[in-house]
Chains A and B, each alone.
Chain A
Amino acid sequence: MTTTRRHILAAPALLPVLAALGAREAAAQASPVRGGTLIYLEQQTYTNLYPPAGGFYPNGGVLNQITDKLTYQNPQTLEIEPWIAESWTVNADATEYVFRLRPGVTFSDGTPLDAEAVARNFDTYGLGNRELRHPVSEVITNYQRSEVIDPLTVRFLFHRPSPGFLQGTSVIGSGLVSPRTLALPFDQLGDATKIIGSGPFVVARQVLGRELVLNARRDYAWGPKNHPHQGRALLDSIRIIVSGEDSVRIGALLAGQAHVIRQIQAYDEERVRSRGFQIFAPSTRGVNNSIVFRPDNPLVADIRVRQALRFATNTQEIVDTLFSPNYPRATSIIASTAQGYVNLADRLIYDPRRAVELLEEAGWTLGPRGVRQKDGQELVLTAYESLPQPRNKETLQLVAQQWARIGVRLNVLAGDSGSRVVDNLDPAKTPVSPAMVGRADPDVIRSQYHPLTRNALLQTGGVSQRVRSFHDARLNDLLDAIASEPNREKRLALVGDVQRYILDQAYVIPIFEEPQVFAAAPRVRGLGFEAVGRPSFYGTWLAAR
């Protein structure tokens, strides 16, 4: 324990910056080399490649190479820039969008990527397809219909203002695919060879569950307008290979058997870096890795209990012991790189004495077993670990230790996926739960907390039948306003309001800003990441050894 700690403290926060500068300098010196095969190791295999299912990282890693998007979100500035759409106009209340498309773009099956195809894509993502079981995309709200104005102009109409739609056209979940792909039922879209995009790479071969080979498309000439690289991809091909075991991925990278790997645990970062390899930790720019409360459960219905648990959570200790400087401590419910972020660190202080006071005030007194009780009931909470989040079990266990110091017990369960899903819908069984979601648009906050979407707090009116009465109309109004406020300044102001409101109500304990961590061999250059941390190999090349 002590060595780990010293290790992390000793590593100056500047190191990653210096390493990145070094890499950029080297990249600037040598001119890009075309050709070669890049080997990319994934921790898990992709599942269903229906683009709106691209939120699952292994899916996003594939889709981002083979599909293009209508617009490009600049990962540095988060501005929306031209890609397949050369230009666009939005009406004042954001209920009508007109896109003018770039001419000459084709899908890899030869079909033109024209207004007809774009309309077909967004009709599917915006409305779903009952017959083919295509679900609606999470990023598109209030969609009504499309209109093809001419072969290169398409208009989208919305029931209510939908200011998040423009950014929604830039995400992996809105990747454009051939009408032939959209004609297939959902149940067949896990076959990568059936996903026909217009992207810089094309699926060449797959071994289900093991490997996917992508080849560069020779005639690709429609990269994002402001992307530093133009024309066809530099690599000839990419082999995406599944390697589930952490030590094997890292060993293979260091031994020169792979070029890029995804998912490196924080404790392995230093080992990789000290050998001269590159670490990339792009932020997921959304709702932070957090613990959320389900106030429908009487144990956490009292705001003082929730506040007490927040005061008792030492997030600095969590970040220092379990993670690395790539996992910044949270200072709001959303990441500091997210749009509309407000620094609320003063509301997120660690103060165990205040925590005890609040619990005493709320009537929870220390019982004989060291667990607080009230009216004969003990303050014992339960949470399921979340497998996709980094070191989530360890995080929850450390939180449990911190809460134990003020007399609150937290049970951390693993459980099978079925129990996890079912119990996480029941506030009586899971009064607290880990949560996070990434997307570089303010809509992400609504996605996470609104009862009609992910419903992280479990309010009534959502997918759970088990919620008895918890409902926060004020919160939902704020969330709806974010999703429908066309004025950018006003929208960002609302984002600030909702951050303050959620923290004032102590609904959430934000812990850290979650990155996606990748490692790459020293000779890998031009590795890019889209706005929420999925890799882009479009401008990537391999320098001579």
Chain B
Amino acid sequence: MRRYLLQRLGQALLVLLAAYTVAFVLLQALPGDAVLIKFLGSEMGLTADQIAELRIAYGADAPVWEQYLHTLGRFLAGEFGYSIRAGVPVASLLAENIRPTLVLAGLALAAASLLAVALAVLSQLGFGWVRAVVRSMPPFFVAVPVFWLGIMLIQVFSFQLGLISVIAPEPWEELVLPVLTLAVPISAPLAQLLIRNLDAILNEPFVAVARAKGATHAWVLWRHAARNALPPTLTMAGVLFGELLGGAVVTETVFGLGGLGGLTQQAVANQDVAVLQAIVVLSAAAFVAISLAMDLLLPLIDPRLATRPAGAA
């Protein structure tokens, strides 16, 4: 087990270095750079000489490999540097944005899971037309644009009914609408997968055997089908969570929330290298950690999977 973990850790470090390097190369490939965008594209109206001076001060014209080694070296020493666009340390930007992102992504995933399980159960237990309606929900949820949904929820619950304040909300009300907005599209693939797996498993011979022994529908669903349908869904939930960490830009913008999504978008738009590198490495680390957690968690649910890593160790 320990060897397995060490192996995974080594892989993780390689992934992080690769992510760092790829992000660096991609940003270099874009035309322009952060210094040009900040000082030339801005409202400051600097002269040619002043811009040339700033470019030297920021090392913006140094050879690419030198910039790469320089930033990598500082990164390894734990110095994330400063955001050229925002004029604050990258560490403060991260600190300010990680918490809201984690809270929003966590709650949205939890809400989406509840919704998905509810849909899946209804799809098996409900009556004729209910089942049909429930089964058409996931495609519908996926089709609803997040942007539109967010605005509609705000219009109805905040501006029309006045139930929730969107501007300067109390802590409890701040996340209600954003979580709902994100949960709807996220629940769709989960529900879809769960329903399809349940359908397949309920047609397996062992289910027929259980039924023949006198098991109720609910018992079969809970004891047999659910345990088999859950692992793939969990894997997918892990992937979705990873996506949510950086992918809630629209929700963040509509609701005026802070978060890594908006920060990433700004960093890319302004080629704010230091910020983007930190986010990329952080997200890569999160992905690695989540997939490791999933690999360690799945054997607990499905004992058949336990043999593989144990065998490798």
- A interface with B by C-beta (< 8 Å): 39, 41, 47-50, 52-53, 55-56, 128, 130, 133, 135-136, 138, 186-191, 207-211, 239, 241-245, 247-248, 251-252, 254-255, 257-258, 416-423, 425, 437, 447, 452-455, 461-463
How many inter-chain contacts with C-beta < 8 Å in the A-B complex?
Answer: 162
Provide the B252-281 mask, 1 if CB < 8 A to any CB of A, else 0: 011111100011000001110000000000
Shortest distance between the CB of A3 and any CB in chain B (Å): 22
Q: Is the CB of A421 within 8 A of B40?
A: yes
Q: Is the CB of A437 within 8 A of B87?
A: no
- B32 on the A face (CB < 8 A): yes
Are A47 and B258 CB-contacts (below 8 A) given A245-B253, A257-B166, A463-B40?
no
Complex contacts, B207 vs chain A, CB 8 Å: none
Which single residue of chain B is at the shortest CB-CB distance from A252?
B167
Complex contacts, B151 vs chain A, CB 8 Å: 245, 247-248
Q: Is the CB of B256 within 8 A of A135?
A: no
Interface 9-residue window, one of B11-19, B46-54, B69-77, B286-294? B46-54
Q: Can you list 17 residue pairs at the A/B interface with Cβ under 8 Å?
A: A55-B42, A136-B46, A187-B82, A187-B87, A190-B86, A208-B258, A209-B93, A209-B97, A241-B168, A245-B254, A248-B256, A252-B158, A258-B167, A417-B32, A417-B269, A421-B36, A463-B40
Shortest distance between the CB of B256 and any CB in chain A (Å): 4
Are A190 and B88 CB-contacts (below 8 A) given A39-B168, A241-B167, A252-B166?
yes
Q: Is the CB of A133 within 8 A of B57?
A: yes
| Complexed CA–CA distance, A248 and B164 (Å) | 13
Shortest distance between the CB of A533 and any CB in chain B (Å): 13
Complex contacts, B53 vs chain A, CB 8 Å: 128, 130
Complex contacts, B93 vs chain A, CB 8 Å: 208-209
Q: Is the CB of B159 within 8 A of A254?
A: yes
Complex contacts, A56 vs chain B, CB 8 Å: 42-43
Which single residue of chain A is at the shortest CB-CB distance from B259?
A209
Q: Is the CB of B87 within 8 A of A48?
A: yes
Q: Is the CB of A418 within 8 A of B88?
A: no
Shortest distance between the CB of A189 and any CB in chain B (Å): 5
Complex contacts, A136 vs chain B, CB 8 Å: 46-47, 50
Which single residue of chain A is at the shortest CB-CB distance from B34?
A418
Shortest distance between the CB of A47 and any CB in chain B (Å): 6
| Complexed CA–CA distance, A241 and B174 (Å) | 14
- B89 on the A face (CB < 8 A): yes
Interface residues in B131-180 (C-beta closer than 8 Å to A): 151, 154-155, 158-159, 162, 165-168
Q: Is the CB of A418 within 8 A of B32?
A: yes
Which single residue of chain B is at the shortest CB-CB distance from A425?
B40
Q: Is the CB of B86 within 8 A of A454?
A: no
| Complexed CA–CA distance, A419 and B166 (Å) | 36
- B209 on the A face (CB < 8 A): no
Complex contacts, B37 vs chain A, CB 8 Å: 417-418, 421
Q: Is the CB of B88 within 8 A of A55?
A: no
Shortest distance between the CB of A239 and any CB in chain B (Å): 6
| Complexed CA–CA distance, A244 and B40 (Å) | 24
What are the 5 closest A-B residue pairs judged by CB atoms, nearest first? Answer: A190-B87, A55-B43, A418-B32, A138-B45, A48-B87
Q: Is the CB of A39 within 8 A of B50?
A: no
Beyond known contacts A130-B57, A190-B83, A208-B96: 13 more, CB 8 A cutoff: A47-B87, A56-B42, A136-B47, A138-B44, A188-B87, A188-B88, A190-B87, A208-B258, A209-B86, A210-B256, A241-B168, A416-B269, A417-B269
| Complexed CA–CA distance, A49 and B43 (Å) | 12
- B84 on the A face (CB < 8 A): yes
Complex contacts, A138 vs chain B, CB 8 Å: 44-46
Complex contacts, B255 vs chain A, CB 8 Å: 248
Q: Is the CB of B45 within 8 A of A49?
A: no
Are A188 and B82 CB-contacts (below 8 A) given A138-B45, A251-B155?
yes
Q: Is the CB of A463 within 8 A of B44?
A: no
Complex contacts, A190 vs chain B, CB 8 Å: 83, 85-88
